[in-house]
Structures are given as C-alpha cells and as structure tokens.
Structure 1
Amino acid sequence: MEGLTQFWAQSDGIGRAVASLLLLMSVSAWSVILWKAWVLQRARRDIARAVPAFWAAESMDAGATRLNALDREQVLAPLLAASAPRAGGTTLETRGALESQLTRRLRDALHASLSHLQFGQVLLASIGSTAPFIGLFGTVWGIYHALGSIAAAGSITIEKVAGPVGEALIMTAAGLAVAIPAVLAYNLFGKWVAGCEAELEGFAHDLREMALEAAKARG
C-alpha cells in the first residue's frame, strides 16, 4: 500500500490515468463476475429442474405452469412460447411451411435466451486481454518519468533508481491482478453457457417435434 501511495504521489497525469483505468477495469470485471456467477448458477439449476418438470406434466397448460414457476431467468419460457400454435396470416412468416415457421421462431427465441446468458462475456474477454498491456504501459511510463526526474536532479545512484523503478513495476502487477480473474471467469462462464446452450437446444428440438406432431394430429 505504501508503494502505491508513493507511486501515486510521484506519478504524473498519464501514470495516474493508467492507474485509474486499471481500477475501473477491476471494479467492472468483479461486478460482472459476481453478477454472472449468480445468473448462470440460477439458470443452470432452473434448467435442470424445469425441463423434467415440464415433460412430467399431464398437459401443455400444466407443463407451462410448472416451467414458468421454475424458470427464474426466463431462458426456457421464450422457447415454449415460440412453439405455441399461431393463427394464420398474410405475412411472409405465416405463409411459410409449419416446419420453417417453428424453426425460425425457436431459433430467434434461443438466440434471445443465449444473449442473456452471454451478456458480459465480451467485457471480461476485453479486460483479460488488455489489462496486462495497460499495466505494462504504466510501468514503462513510470520508469521513464522516474528516470527523467532523477536525471534532472543531477545525481544518479542505484539507490535513487531502484526505488522509483520498483514502484513503477507495481503497475505491471496491478495489470495482471486485474486480468487473471477476468480470464479465469471468462473461461468458466463460457463452459457454463455452453452447457446451458446444449440443454436449451435439446429442449427447443423436442418442442419442435411435439408441435409438429400436434399439428398433424389436428389434421
């Protein structure tokens, strides 16, 4: 903490801007990490409970009631709504074959659900890939600034160089401290989202088949 205080006091505007940017990136990353961990854990549990509960119901209405009660993140309900029968119309969508209509509606609903689950992944990837370089730039600039100040003083010794250079290296460590949690969270959340995507795709496929069979039964 003392090193950070000294670095801040001795740094110029650019060095302080880099430190502030790393702090902002760290706060943003941890906010997204905590939020996504909560959302994805809920979604995974909801999918694991809601899908079997839906198929165990005796009717579509009962199944929809069970699913909506368990689907807190609303990733399954859009798929169920997309598979519901639609009244005929004159638009291009309604004039298409039933198979094509169902595929289009379920695809759009699936994309919407996945967009909700994937929200924040780009931010984590961006922070994880850029924070080390921002920290490295802060270190380089801090060393340059420190050496310029020492040279202006007219006397250069190893003791006068080691202190400012060591404090400037803190920026590299800060960049890594910001990037590592973001990268680890991105990889973990990517695995969780992929698992949810597989379950949602399977549910959408089963709903499509059931809707087609129901349409054939209606004649």
Structure 2
Amino acid sequence: MISRITGLFAAIAVAATLAVSPVHAQDQKPADAASAVVDAAPAPAATPAPAKASDNPYGLGAMLQHGDMVSKSVLTLLLIMSMGSWYILIVRLWDTSKLGSEAKDVRSTFFKKTSLADGVRSLKEESAFRYIAAAGVEASEHHEGALTENIDLSSWVTVNIDRAVTDVNNKVGAGLGFLATVGSTAPFIGLFGTVWGILQALTAIGVAGQASIDKVAGPVGEALIMTAIGLGVAVPAVLGYNWLVNRNKSVMGQVRAFAADLHGVLMGNRSVAKR
C-alpha cells in the first residue's frame, strides 16, 4: 500500500515537471528572438548634410550644365544682344552729352569772333560744329564749275550745310536701329528658348516614365529662365531707344539752329566768307 502511494506521488511529480518545462521553454524562446532582432537591426543611417543654398537645381547654372547646343546658342545670342545694346546706349549718351555741351559753347562764342576763319579755328578738330562750319565756308568759297554755276550761291551753300548736318545726325543716331531690333526680337528669342527647353524636358520625362513634380519642375523652371532673360535684354533696349531718340531731337535742334545762323552769316557778309 505504501509503495503504491509512493509511486503515485512520483508520477504526479514527473507530470508536473513535464508540464512546467514547455512553458519555461516558450518564455525563453521569445526573449532569445527579441535579442536576436535587436542584434540584427541595422544601425540608423547617417543624416545627409543639407544642400547648400548656392546649389540650386533649378537655376541658371543647372540650365548651362544640362542644356543642349540650341539652348546655349540662344543664351549666347541674347548675351551678345545685351552687350551691344548697353555699348550703344552708353556711347550715344556720351556723344549727345558732348554735342549738347559744345552747342552751348558755340552759340555763346563762335559768332563773336572777328571772322568766320577765326571762328572755325576756335572749334575743336573733332567737333561736329567745326565740320559744319568748314563745309559752309568751303561751299561759299568754291562756287564754280560748269555744273554748279547754274545753281545760285544760297542754294549751293544750303545744300552743303544740310549735307553736313545730315552726316552729323547719322553719326549721332547710329545704333538706334540695333536697339529697336533688340527691343522687338529679344522677347521672342527668349520665348523660343523656353519652348525648346520645355520640349526637351517633356521628351526626357516621357522617355524616363517619371512624371513626379520634382522631375518636371527642374527642366521646366530652367526653360522659363530663357523668357526672363529675353525680357531683361529687351526692356533696356526699348527704354534706351526712346531716350536716345528724344535726346537726339533736342541736340539736333541746336545743331540745325547753328547751321541756319551760319548760312545767314555767309549770305549776309560774303566778303567775310572769302577771307
């Protein structure tokens, strides 16, 4: 009897041991798996350094870097047009300012000389007024020949003085046609560059099969810069053209007034002109 009771307790102990062992094994396995996952987890990637503000992927530098020959040719043409416009604007402003200053001095001193010869010699060699005065004096002194003897002296002198005034006007107005051409064509040249750039960008996007905003904004933004450059070239050219036209009218009015006074002196006192 006692042996049976002892065997029963031994069986119960063995069963309890077997029941507890799986639970302990299951608890041990998740802990081991968690530690394995932690060990196998990759290290966090290093945070990329922020891009510099100067590295603009949509700016002019990116356009020059990725643009083709057509885009670069359009940009070069606009640059040449801009440089030519500014050169003409600066040179002609200097010429008109110089001519206006000479006009004030000539009107206050030239006709106070004792003779036209002294008046001509008092003018600067490269002065437009000396050129006109010399042309008038020479025409009044050389009115001979079979072809010119039928023309009266007044008309002959008038024709020569007007020719000299026209030469001065052409010199002062040189380059205005270029400014007008730049002002009227530069926006369309820039627009052509924009259309070409957008066409190339959309073609590249279609081939790549990526139409996300970051893929579209860059090429299209680069292309639109061409339109802005075209307007930046055209606006100074148009403003400079209008400004120079108004200045030329004012200055040439003073030149023509001097020519009219010179003609009156030559016709009123021919003996002075022959000295």
Whether the TM-score (by the shorter chain) exceeds 0.5 is yes
Superposed CA deviations along residues 42-65 of structure 1, whole A, max 9, x for unmatched, are: 111111212221022232233223
Distance in 2 separating the partners of 1:94 and 1:143? 70
Kindly indicate whether residue 105 of structure 2 is the aligned counterpart of residue 57 of structure 1.
no
Taking structure 2 as the reference length, the TM-score comes to: 0.73
The residue identity in structure 2 corresponding to 1:89 is E
Deviating more after overlay: 153-162 vs 165-174: 153-162
Superposed CA deviations along residues 163-187 of structure 1, whole A, max 9, x for unmatched, are: 2111111101101111111111111
Distance in 2 separating the partners of 1:18 and 1:108? 41
Name the structure 2 match of 1:167: 222
Name the structure 1 match of 2:80: 24
**Greater C-alpha radius of gyration:** 2
Q: For structure 1, which runs of at least 5 residues remain unmatched after alignment?
A: none
Name the structure 1 match of 2:134: 81
Distance in 2 separating the partners of 1:91 and 1:191? 43
The residue identity in structure 2 corresponding to 1:74 is S
- Quote how far apart the aligned CAs of 1:149 are: 0.7
Kindly indicate whether residue 68 of structure 2 is the aligned counterpart of residue 15 of structure 1.
no
Go from structure 1 to structure 2 and tell me whether the alpha carbon gap of 1:50 and 1:39 turns closer, same or farther (over 3 Å shift): same
Deviating more after overlay: 173-182 vs 34-43: 34-43
Kindly indicate whether residue 175 of structure 2 is the aligned counterpart of residue 114 of structure 1.
no
The residue identity in structure 2 corresponding to 1:39 is D
Name the structure 1 match of 2:231: 176
Kindly indicate whether residue 99 of structure 2 is the aligned counterpart of residue 43 of structure 1.
yes
Aligned length: 215
Distance in 2 separating the partners of 1:37 and 1:211? 32
The residue identity in structure 1 corresponding to 2:252 is E
Go from structure 1 to structure 2 and tell me whether the alpha carbon gap of 1:73 and 1:216 turns closer, same or farther (over 3 Å shift): closer
Distance in 1 separating the partners of 2:96 and 2:143? 37
Distance in 1 separating the partners of 2:272 and 2:171? 35
Taking structure 1 as the reference length, the TM-score comes to: 0.91
